[in-house]
Chain A
Amino acid sequence: MSVDTETVLRIANLARIAMSEEEAERLKPELNNILGWVEQLGEVDTSGVEPLAMVIANHTHMREDMVTDGDKRDEILANAPLAEHGFFAVPKVIE
């Protein structure tokens, strides 16, 4: 499979990375090169093989249902590029 410029732009949009057509054009052969290389995995017969779910045997430790966190708005907002009235502020969203 090989990607065209349009696909590169679509992927860039999915990943929310602003990209000009020229940049996409430049990236295209690089991506195709890498994709072509990883596609050698297709050679491996994986019929009947389960995809790996967990690398080292382990089991889920579940948390108790207790409030142990929160109540730290100053910390939460400390690094915000823009915070007002206790909220993060972003350009207006029209739904």
Chain B
Amino acid sequence: MANITDLGVAEIRDGFRAKDFSAREVAGAFNDAVAGAEALNCFIVTTPEKALEAADAADSALAAGTAGPLAGVPLGIKDLFCTKGVQSTAASHILEGFTPTYESTVSGKLLEAGAGMLGKLNMDQFAMGSSNETSYFGNVVSPWRRNDGGNTPMSPGGSSGGTSSAIAAHIVPAATGTDTGGSIRQPAAFTGICGMKPTYGRCSRWGIVAFASSLDQAGPMARSVKDCAILLEAMAGYDPKDSTSLDEPVPSWETALSGDLTGKKIGIPKEYRVDNMPEEIDALWKQGTEWLKDAGAEIVEVSLPHTKYALPAYYIIAPAEASANLARYDGVRYGLRELPDGANLQDMYAATRAAGFGEEVKRRIMIGTYVLSAGFYDAYYTQAQKVRTLIVRDFDNAWAQCDYLLTPTAPSAAFGLGDLSDDPIAMYLNDVFTVPSSLAGLPAIAVPGGLDKQGLPLGLQVIGKALDEQGVFNAGLALEERAGFSARAEKWW
């Protein structure tokens, strides 16, 4: 039998039910793998005892015939999810020590389904970042290295970089991510794994530390499309505690998975051919087009004319929402409190927030505060929301011509930690292909397609219509089956 830690969600689930191994063995193996991978800095806290507890419960449940759909599967949980009794920080100093008395809806659903928790995964602070360099708890390191013989530490992408790195390193079989402008898909692409951002409203946001409310969505990250489908089924569903949650039935995505795209039309958006895009990414995109043709689909060129404006619109809307969402971190009810001598209440706020927020978080709060301030609101925020309407319309028009869109996931392969940290806009450009579908709330999946010359993974993205997760999974599966991506980072940690 293969090493347990090389198994994915479906394999663990099925092997556990077939009694090939016990849940306790699985949890033990992953706990060991986690403990042995400190160099990657994937976790802010590890919870081996929680994983074992859930495993024991799964073992008893199996014996009793009451095992849930994810019984026996240990998972990582991004630290943006509030977890009852376990420190939840959003990778920020301002929430250090914060121990929620409640469980987020999504992590609660996973636990309810029988999954265990291996720990809280590191991330960009408040999910703001594309490289995992903004965490208060240190950078996450990708297990991947360039094939140049050097050992430059590489970015796992962000903000769900603890998640992507841990999955790629096989120290967790799968984990939760969240995606505001690409935070599931871009790190998936950087680390050669799959990541699915569902339709906005599919997964409840209750109990997830908010970054930008109109964009934030939880989603699964795993090493296969099928594993993503299995996890999303457990994570999704209407939640009356989230007003923006969609009251829609959750289909059995796993059961209906099919890589046969006969009769489907795939749109290739011409505006996604950006300047300076590495030739290898363009080549992979063409290759992806061929794979989908091979799966039976017809290829059409489509136009999304406002694509270019998605990123700047995003960098107004997301910081604006964040500036208000992060106002609650004030040192009064939880988290850090900085109280310099003689400070009054307002001084305490300012001191607490100056000490508690990292540089990128402050930068975005400042931008968000500025664009909402008197005299600038219409020029920035209202204009950005109008452009967002146009971006939504672009997609609607595209859907008249095709069923899915195929694009690269990110404009480059992973870069070295530190390479872009002095240039915020260059960093923001990482999300150029993921942000438009975020602004439109559409489901999109990232699937690994191959390696570049440096031996680093590259990903393809499929975007679908609202609520058509099934179609997106199916197109993702068609790519996955043909790409046959099996490369894996060599263990150095």
Contacts and interface: CB of A to CB of B under 8 A. Distances in A.
Does a CB–CB distance below 8 Å link A and B in the complex? yes
Interface of A: 1, 3, 7-8, 11-19, 27, 30-31, 33-35, 37-44, 46, 49-52, 55-58, 60-61, 63, 72, 75-76, 78-82, 88, 90-94
Given A37-B425, A56-B441, A60-B243, A17 B362 contact: yes
A15 B369 contact: yes
5 contacts: A42-B383, A44-B306, A56-B201, A81-B335, A88-B333
Contact of B333 (A1, A50, A72, A79): A79
**Which secondary structure dominates chain B's binding surface?**
helix
B440 interface: yes
Contacts of B346: 16
Interface string B215-243: 00000000000000000000000001001
Contacts of B291: none
Nearest to B466: A56
Given A41-B384, A81-B331, A17 B366 contact: yes
A31 B363 contact: yes
A41 B312 contact: yes
Interface residues of B, number: 72
Contact of B312 (A40, A50, A93): A40
Most buried by B among A3, A35, A42: A35
A17 B383 contact: no
A43 B247 CA distance: 38
A17 B425 contact: no
Nearest to A63: B240
A5 B490 CA distance: 49
Contacts of A79: 97-99, 333-335
B389 A50 contact: yes
Contact of A44 (B244, B366, B371, B387): B387
Given A15-B365, A52-B385, A91-B345, A46 B390 contact: yes
Given A18-B353, A37-B315, A81-B334, 17 more contacts: A1-B376, A12-B350, A15-B366, A16-B346, A17-B350, A34-B315, A41-B313, A49-B386, A50-B389, A55-B214, A55-B388, A55-B392, A56-B199, A63-B240, A78-B99, A80-B332, A93-B345
A43 B313 CA distance: 12
A58 B339 contact: no
Given A38-B380, A61-B247, A18 B350 contact: yes
Contact of A61 (B243, B327, B349, B382): B243
